[in-house]
Amino acid sequence: MAFRREIFEAVGTFDPALDVGTATRGGGDIEMFHRILAKGYSTFYEPRAFVWHVHRRSSDALSKQLRDNGLGFGSYLLTCDRNRTVDRRELIHFAVVHWLNEWLLKRLRYPGWFPRKLIVSELLGALQSPFCLQESSVASAAVDCYPRTRNGNAGG
C-alpha cells in the first residue's frame, strides 16, 4: 500500500497499538483504510501490484495465524468504536450478527472443509482482543510513538 502525505495529515498515522509485533497482532492496515474511508476519502486498488506472503507450513503455525487474525480484527472493531467512526449500535450489530454468529459460530457448527481447530483459534483470538488491545494501547502510549499531525493533534 502507498499513501499520499496529505492523507496522514488529514486522518493521522497508523495506530501503533494495532500491528504485527504488538499484543493485537494486527489490524493497523484495515483500521487505516477504515479511517480514510470514514473521512470521505477514497482508496484505489492496483491489480498489477502484488505482495509475496509466506504461507504457513504447519497446522500449528496456521492456527496461530488465525488466532492473530481474530485478535487483530477484534482490536480493529474496538478501535472503530473508540474513534467513533461508526455508530456503536451498527458496530455491535456487525460484530455480533455478522462476525461472531455468521462467520465464526456458524462455521464452528458447520465447518465443511475448514478444520474446526482453526475456527476455534480465530474465535479465541477474537475473545482475547479487548485485553490485548488494552495492553498494546498502554505500551504504545508509554513510548509516545504516535506522531502528531500538522495541526498538532494526535493521529488516529
Spatial separation of the C-alpha atoms in residues 133 and 108, rounded to whole Å? 25
> pLDDT (tens digit, 9 = 90+) per residue, 77-129?
999 999 999 999 999 999 999 999 999 999 999 988 989 999 999 999 999 99
Exposure letters 61-98 (e unless 16+ CB within 10 A, then b):
ebbebbbbbbbbbbbbbbbbeebebeeeeebeeebeee
Enter the C-alpha cell of residue 145: 510513538
Can you give the pTM of this predicted structure?
A: 0.85
The answer to whether 12 touches 120, Cβ cutoff 8 Å, is no
> pLDDT (tens digit, 9 = 90+) per residue, 10-56?
999 999 999 888 999 999 999 999 999 999 999 988 888 888 878 88
> Cell 456458524 identifies what position?
106
Domain spans in the chain, listed from the N-terminal domain onward:
5-143
Give the residue-averaged pLDDT of 61-76. Answer: 95
Q: Specify the length of the chain in residues.
A: 156
> pLDDT (tens digit, 9 = 90+) per residue, 116-138?
999 999 999 999 999 999 999 99
